[in-house]
Amino acid sequence: MKNKDTNTIYQQGDVLIRPIENLPAGTKQVVQKRLCVLAEGEATGHAHVAQDNEAELIRIGERMILSLGRSTTITHEEHKPITLAPGLYDIGRVREYDYFSQMARAVQD
């Protein structure tokens, strides 16, 4: 399953969703099927969720990959929904850099 447009990056709050063409090399571990929680809010407990019978959340090494067999909407209680085409998506977090402490950290939703 390949994505046609790998130049687009989607953002929903602190979650980044980047289309990829193929699964990366490594051992594939299916983490969730049908109800895939991409990330949970640290303060609110709200979640970024892909819910579809053909959705799988896969871990390969440190990477989380969302596999969609058909168009699926990512929902969150505080953000606009995002509809993604069928394909593979690398799931990441927005990072911020503190120039005073010279440290990068994940943004928390």
Predicted TM-score (pTM) above 0.85: no
What are 53-85's pLDDT values in tens digits? 999 999 999 999 999 999 999 999 888 999 999
Is the pLDDT higher at 97 or at 35?
35
Within 8 A by CB and 6+ apart from 18, the residues are 6, 9, 10, 89, 90, 92
Residue position matching structure tokens 């571990």:
29
Percent of the residues in the chain that have a pLDDT greater than 70, as a whole number: 78
Q: Is the pLDDT of residue 97 over 70?
A: no
Q: Output the pLDDT for position 71.
A: 96
Q: Output the pLDDT for position 6.
A: 65
Pick the closest to residue 108 from 98, 93, 88, 97 (CA basis): 93
CA atoms 90, 93, 94, 98: torsion sign? negative
Residue 46: is it exposed, middle or buried by C-beta count within 10 angstroms (0-12/13-18/19+)? middle
Domain residue limits, the chain = 10-106
